[in-house]
Amino acid sequence: MRNRLLAVSGATTGIAAVLLSAVPALAAGAVEGPVQKQAVNVAAIVMFAIFVLATLAITYWASRRTRSAKDFYSAGGGITGFQNGLAIAGDYMSAASFLGIAGLVYTNGFDGLIYSIGFLVGWPVVLFLIAERLRNLGKYTFADVASYRLQQTPIRTLAACGSLVVVALYLIAQMVGAGKLIQLLFGLDYWIAVVIVGCLMILYVTFGGMLATTWVQIIKAVLLLSGASFMAFMVLAHFGFNPESMFQAATQIHPKGMAIMAPGSFVSDPVDAISLGMALMFGTAGLPHILMRFFTVSDAKEARKSVLYATGFIGYFYILTFVIGFGAITFLMSDASFFTKATGFDKIKDLIGGTNMAAIHLAHAVGGNLFLGFISAVAFATILAVVSGLTLAGASAVSHDLYASVIARGRVNELQEIWVSKMATVVLGIIAIMLGIAFEQQNVAFMVGLAFAIAASANFPIVILSMFWKKLTTRGALIGGFVGLISATVMVILGPTVWEKVLGNAAHSAPFPYDNPAIFSITLAFIVTWLVSVTDGSQTARNEEIAFEAQYIRSQTGLGAEGASSTH
């Protein structure tokens, strides 16, 4: 997950000032600079304010319907497959995928498509192997499934650690990206942007729980898909709906010429490429905030439909992003107003705000100030939807796994558990704000990659083995899971990106040669889990094997599975 993905450029206040002062120049050579500049900001801020008001109204509505733990964690289990599919798409299509992949296509062309495909192919695997079994066995978190027949305390501790580490890394990357993006788009100070995002997500999750989070994600998905569809439509319409003429125009104007139509340097090392593919594919199946979404639907049938719709929306969105990236090449590269220099500009390095702003600039080019404002507001909304889902998953790990099962050993009532969850949300929100501010100047792009690697190496093996392998024991899962978590983390730290670029060690001094550890850490986690399980001769291990039978029947038939308590 090299640097480009979440690095919403090295945006500083300086760049923000450049962007905002340059915006009037974008507006068809208008001379009334200050007025134009005002207009852009107002449009974006008004639209964002409408989004915030609407989502707060939904939160109020949701809070009146959120009474039990089941309401809070899983929206009462009454979300339909279609709604959940949209919400999953809203949870998964982050600002990083939208701006980052469009920026990647703008810079490298075809390589951006390789990335998108990696993010998509995990979904069929989630459906074929995980979704329905997860729905049949679990209640609120994936730890319910992993600890179904194993010992509660160690397994929930492991799952909560895996969840919290993934959530924290993902959250930091999103907060830093949010701060920089909002700084660029709205001209707000970095810390103000981070505080606004943090406070809104605390409000959504604390008061509205899963129901509000789901609807924030659904609205965001609809807005993002509509906005991206409009942009792709305008680009294709410009070329008479003939992709060949679009690609012709792009290759003529892009400094890399025909090279943008084929795989480039982006994926050079085969081991790194396969390893990245494994992290993306299996990491998707181990992301706690994604797995949690399967408990919001009523049964396995709806869980399956969710994945079908989500795969459709996400796949469609990535195709749009590819068109948008090429549209940005053809619309922006010939127009000096999008660059920091009037003449002799570098078509990639001198793009105002960096290449991650390519989609935002294109919004202005195809739809004027109003549409620029709309897309800016959508980008902000996108971040809010993603961080809300993450925070809810983190808070559930704290309240449902750590507090209710590990600390209180199941002796809690629902109200206490919900209260702990809400407090955990507030604390997580405050920590996220502080980390977001602390990491402002850090290169956080590796964190999403690390989050996927850990999800694939710690959470995924435990989830899949607990469902499919009856000889899995508590000891095996515990040791294997932690080996996956620790090995993925250590290998990322010792790898070239973090060791050399983040920690500032000399070039080529990284002890571990690859940026993507997944191929090694996933294998290691599976081998250790297997080895420890088969050599575990304890009585508990035997009991756990016997208990597999009942778990298996329930996972296959859904008999005894949690039902819906209400419909929304």
Read off the amino acid at residue 199: C
Longest CA pairwise span in the chain (Å)? 82
Residues in binding contact with another protein, number by CB under 8 A:
51
If binding is defined by CB under 8 A, does position 423 make contact with another protein?
A: no
If binding is defined by CB under 8 A, does position 120 make contact with another protein?
A: yes
| Residues paired with 339 in a beta bridge | 351
Kindly tell me which of 66 and 84 has the beta carbon lying closer to another protein.
Answer: 84
CA distance 14 to 19: 9
CA distance 498 to 504: 8
Locate 71 and state its tokens.
């309401």
Residue with tokens 């898909």: 225
Kindly tell me which of 441 and 543 has the beta carbon lying closer to another protein.
Answer: 543
Figure out which of the listed residues 65, 238, 256, 304 binds another protein, where binding follows CB under 8 A: 304
Figure out which of the listed residues 154, 277, 481, 517 binds another protein, where binding follows CB under 8 A: 277
If binding is defined by CB under 8 A, does position 261 make contact with another protein?
A: yes
Of residues 92 through 111, those in contact with another protein by CB under 8 A are 110
Residue with tokens 């007025």: 35
If binding is defined by CB under 8 A, does position 370 make contact with another protein?
A: no
If phi > 0 it is left, if psi is from -120 to 50 it is alpha, else beta; for residue 512 that is beta
If binding is defined by CB under 8 A, does position 57 make contact with another protein?
A: no
Least Å distance between CB 252 and another protein?
A: 8
CA distance 253 to 6: 26
If binding is defined by CB under 8 A, does position 515 make contact with another protein?
A: no
If binding is defined by CB under 8 A, does position 262 make contact with another protein?
A: yes
If binding is defined by CB under 8 A, does position 513 make contact with another protein?
A: no
CA distance 501 to 494: 11
CA distance 233 to 417: 48
CA distance 281 to 291: 14
Kindly tell me which of 330 and 521 has the beta carbon lying closer to another protein.
Answer: 330
> What value, to the nearest 5°, has the Cα angle with vertex 163 and ends 517 and 298?
120
Least Å distance between CB 274 and another protein?
A: 6
CA distance 519 to 115: 17
CA distance 283 to 466: 17
Least Å distance between CB 236 and another protein?
A: 14
If binding is defined by CB under 8 A, does position 401 make contact with another protein?
A: no
If binding is defined by CB under 8 A, does position 547 make contact with another protein?
A: no
Figure out which of the listed residues 21, 248, 441, 567 binds another protein, where binding follows CB under 8 A: 248
Region of 61-69, 394-402, 526-534, 552-560 interacting with another protein (CB under 8 A): 552-560
Kindly tell me which of 28 and 262 has the beta carbon lying closer to another protein.
Answer: 262
Read off the amino acid at residue 366: V
* Dihedral sign, Cα of residue 263, residue 320, residue 370, residue 39: negative
If binding is defined by CB under 8 A, does position 125 make contact with another protein?
A: yes
The answer to whether 524 touches 483, Cβ cutoff 8 Å, is: yes
If binding is defined by CB under 8 A, does position 550 make contact with another protein?
A: yes
Least Å distance between CB 244 and another protein?
A: 5
The helix-helix angle for 33-65 and 190-238 (nearest 10°) equals 100
Phi–psi pair at 351, nearest 5 degrees:
-65, 130
Least Å distance between CB 255 and another protein?
A: 15
Residue with tokens 């016997």: 546
Least Å distance between CB 143 and another protein?
A: 22
Of residues 450 through 469, those in contact with another protein by CB under 8 A are none
The residues binding another protein (CB under 8 A) are: 110, 113-114, 116-118, 120-121, 123-125, 127-129, 132, 243-244, 247-248, 250-251, 258, 261-263, 267, 269-270, 273-274, 277, 281, 300-301, 304-305, 307-308, 311-312, 315, 318-319, 322, 549-550, 553, 556-559
